[in-house]
Structure 1
């Protein structure tokens, strides 16, 4: 039994497929969007730009997605077919396979594929003398798949070992330029020991029920997303179609967007996030439905840097800890003071004074400029030697406090200096004489708002003078 599949040139709406039958489709012109940035990526894995200099790498493409149903060995055959029965094969099919991906992570796999963060685990663009390319063994020549080597003339890559639940994206590309958009057909057939054992379980056929594709994470300003009802098991046997949207993804569909037998496609524009549902009434009086969650994220926006512990917010000894809060519900990572990014928004042992934070959306929707924030604290030492570095000591961020005063003492309790909000700091002298290297103490007095009442507070710590 053969299955005709609607082509999708957009990774975001890759067509879910299964191993229980050959799949017939066609490359029919450029993709819906540039999944690979043509100004940045001219090669992905072994694939290169098309045969015309102006063609980007995504020339005449089809995207598919499949999920491993069992652990085992998977391969596939892609056969270029003649445009008409008995005609000449004009296409030159290449492919790239990406994965494995974990669907539970909710990541934007197509963004990481398109920006080069994920590279193909299998790919081939050798000349297909037999009309076949794929993974495993060429069914015509018996050529055994091997790691890709340029000019090897081996059109097959080595078998793929999969684990149940893994997601893979298959990118099929017609290297020959076809700017007239005429479809050039091919067939896709899955192979391997898992398929030989049970083609109904080798790949998870329930994924085909999600014919609108996997949930989509997109960025504000991205090109339109086109959903197709023609990828459903009903195929062309459609009596009526209804598209709806649940804007809050709360189980309540707020609006009917389109209806009618001709409403085979729905275009979703940025930034209209929501769960989109299609209901198809077939000519056989059956009902088929599917839904897809589309979420648009923008550039991260800082809500606040919440100081968990600093000199005035903790009874501990100098635990400068902060937590970064971001507006929105994207997937973010954080870096402070030019350091490495981390997923945890809590940072421990943050330096006192002015710091910077950078927030990055891991789905590729943007990165903030460095944003300054202040942590009230003090340096553990200073070196008043006239070199312009750590020559003065002061409590950093004191200007953010109410009526602050700082009193400095030696280790025996002798009062040495008082600092206020306008002071440049202590230079390590007493009555004009330099004091020796030693530990010194300070007391910070200030007022704090406690439910509308200013309450006097006091903090005592020590620091070192080093000469």
Structure 2
């Protein structure tokens, strides 16, 4: 039960596997006058494990950034920005843990000449205001847009600079002091970015407090999964080496090496934890920082691993197809409960290994109401239908691949016919029905359709018909037979009430075949004013209103039958 989606073939690897390479979104290919602090953004390629980016000043080169893994994100911020007035070449590599990487063709753009000094920056380690900092800590800060270098002043009092005074460290984002900081001391740091146009102005001084004198712990490393491991389960037990002297561990996990969007500095006293519901076919980056009262471990490395292919989507190297193991489902957005016919039993028709049905509570929780292919619906509200297939996850366990659809249950009923109109235009008829009820209705002239939303049918010819009105929510079909007949002498097209005894009265003239069983005829002027009501079996209308002759003009009639059909038409009064 795999859903296989065939992809286009634009790039061929050594194995014969093919896949599209992404286009740059920003900056666009060939763009000029690009700011040096611009992030690089590209299209997502469905099914890849991750991306590797290189930035160079030559096609395919890595003079600026060489082969930097970025995980599954599609945006990269060059850590030191980009050189000005330079053509930059971007090379994206598609990373697959189960097959060879695909190196895409370089795409280039050109940066502008910057004419302004940089802006200020701030510490990111230690962060401003932090306490218990390791006396051997290194300083690091964020990139300042347009900066080509930084000057540091570090001291034990504001502006003192007794550790470093206006020290030019060059175009880097970190500094390792030659000696440890004094213990239990507030350290003040000012970072001033500069470039060829000048220095940043009014940069603030930040500070942190070192820990007590002692031995901070060293770094640790992952035991499970090990750094670089592939095919990791989606809810693994993370384990790392214990570190002597550590009283706890800070855990950071992200889908890219630059953002901790999964776990951000959670504290653990043990050396293991379960992490639930990783996404399949993704690379995750992990950093574990031991600490004690003397501070945190310094410069602990970042490690990574890739999760199992899971339910997909992922590319099959053998077939060159995009594979999704989740079942393909089809379910309506709205389901009706018919008045007087509850419960309504629904049966799933999608092929799957199992099913679940949920009711969404007022608090937004999901309450399981059935784990079978069928469900009995008794009340209105919001529900979720879920189907799943079972597959081997490659770890000796069964993986459940699910697809779901939210739907709304509404009250519904058969239509009630309130009125039925037949209008004659030349030799064709327009028919309209007026219905009431709490359902959603559609209309057809055959029980199998086609059905339409409009209750009007135009341009019908003579004949016998049946109108079918179907509730969209499955609460039944009502029908109304009717006949369309255009008798040439039924409703005279004109009359001349001039007292000559010829055609002085206007009335319905029943044809020899299939006369209409008329009950009443109403006559109106062109403004819709009722002028007369006549009996089809009587003498007819004499062209007067309240005893006064009406002028020669066009007039309208509305004829009703005993079975509530309505006929409308036009005739002329001639003087």
TM-score (norm 2): 0.24
Instruction: Give the number of the structure with larger relative contact order, counting CA–CA contacts within 8 Å between residues 6 or more apart.
Output: 1
Structure 1 or 2: more helix by fraction? 1
Max radius of gyration: which structure? 2
